[in-house]
Amino acid sequence: METLSGRSLIGFREGRGGDEPMYATNPATGQRLQPGFLPATREEVDLAAELSAKAFDVYQRVSGHDRGAFLRAIAAKIESAAGEIIERAAQETALPQARLQGETARTCAQMRLFAQVAEEGSWVQARIDRPDPNRKPAPKPDLRSMLRPLGPVVVFGASNFPLAFSVAGGDTASAFAGGNTVIFKAHPAHPGTSELVGQAIQQSVRECGLPEGVFSLLFDAGPQVGTELLKHPLVKAGAFTGSRTVGRILMDVAASRPEPIPFYAEMSSTNPVFILPGALHERGDNIAAGLHTSFTLGAGQFCTKPGMVFLPQGSEAAAFAKKLQQLVAGSAPVHLLTKTIHALYDSAIAARKADPSIKRVAEGPPAAKDVSFAVSCALFETDAASFLGSELDSEIFGPTTLLVQHSSHDQVLSIARSLEGHLTATIQGTEQDLREFADLIAILENKVGRLVFNGFPTGVEVTHAMVHGGPYPSTSDGRSTSVGSQAIFRFARPVCYQGFPDNALPAELKDSNPLGIWRMLDGEMSR
């Protein structure tokens, strides 16, 4: 792997960049890290888009087998440079080595999952309706359809996952697997990590004999480069993981273009947890311990962090809160990822302390007032009446959660109906609880993308069945997922071929089915 240059990677070229470099900061020490990274210029944005569009003309026709080989090559390159990548990521994020090792493994695993999907090929959803020349009153034509890639995709890096939701993350992997080219806008929190992974992809493009422009990586400290990319007429889709404020701005940019494009944003989620009476009675202490681990994991900077917890009021709720109070009071300070996240967390915690409807139950030992981004864990409590009609369901990025005690079954349902869209909802219950609260589950099915029973939401498996999405504002389009193999469908559209001779059809639609994929033939699934 090459040393860091601090320059954008534009196809096979190194960008020159603007005049004012940006620097990553070590969250644990406040130290400015070298080198400086120069933001891409407008001319470099244009060049990246032009190379991406030109490469797409070729890459969209690359076989699924060759796309799979490309994705596997990326995974192998990342693994070969894992020590260097993890060392830099630790400096830029202050995340522990074990976490970064796990995230590296996940990043490579999702590359290989999408390689498998591309190689197998049935994801294109091929459908064939054979003709009937004798149908009356008019003959039925030969109709065949399949999914085709969209074109150049702009992907925005996330602050909280320097690997798995970054340069070689799920958005990039799913776009590549579907035949799209990718222009990646690096997150300013971890530019060095981004460049190292970007080098792995750039080298894989070369070694796999793919055209220049299949991948580019651009740096910028602010919104300018990302906005210019999303507005560029050659760009055909976008993907983003971050705050609701920025996600909403980018959604509007994508929608207001002369040619609007699909934009998939994962924005904010508070991930409600409902502790039902039977579970609270049987295993309240165990649930408290699991909840504490979940909302402090990764310093509470996971998009699936449980940020509000609903439980029936009474002596068992008081015992639950006391157990959680003990755990929080013993929690050491943690480091947040960026100065902005640190400031927003401090502001949100101060606002909750000043709110007379909220009680501060516990807070960890105070963080040192130095140059680091350290904060204390915090636990708050309120009642259902205060919660309903308030804005207490807003996401707070960091190690805190809110207990909400309710008084009746109907009040639980009112709370559930009041919720906006979230990525997850968790139910801690017994089989009897599930029978008694079937109406709660029915409501939550329309509020979230993933329902968790007797677990916690902070583990997101990369599998075929996983859904990491949800109704607005958790995402911009609740019909999609950004994790799991179904993510490939975001960057594809159906194309129908009517009356074409067999030799002019894509291989996926030929009569002989040379790829051996699953297809719908006259309404029946067949190989």
Catalytic: which of 119, 195, 303, 377?
A: 303
* Sign of the dihedral through C-alpha 18, 30, 349, 321: positive
The tokens of 490 are what? 């975001």
Q: State the CB neighbour count (10 A cutoff) for residue 4.
A: 19
DSSP states along 130-190 = --BTT-SSSPBPPEEEEEEE-S-EEEEPPSS-TTTTSTTSHHHHHHHHTT--EEEE--TTS
CA-CA distances (angstroms) from residue 117 to 96, 126, 263, 484?
A: 32, 14, 23, 11
User: Is 425 strand, coil or helix?
Assistant: strand
At CB < 8 A and 24+ separation, what contacts does 242-245 make? 242/156, 242/158, 242/159, 242/266, 242/267, 243/267, 243/268, 243/397, 244/268, 244/395, 244/473
| DSSP letter, residue 37 | B
User: Is 453 strand, coil or helix?
Assistant: strand
At residue 324, φ and ψ (nearest 5 deg) are: -65, -35
* Sign of the dihedral through C-alpha 311, 316, 318, 323: negative
Whole-number Å distance between alpha carbons of 288 and 309: 10
User: Is 319 strand, coil or helix?
Assistant: helix
Question: Beta partners for 148?
Answer: 493
Q: Is 44 a catalytic residue?
A: no
DSSP states along 356-379 = TT-EEEEE-SPPP-SSS-EE--EE
Q: Is 266 a catalytic residue?
A: yes
Whole-number Å distance between alpha carbons of 441 and 287: 19
Catalytic: which of 44, 92, 119, 266?
A: 266
Q: Which residues are catalytic?
A: 266, 303
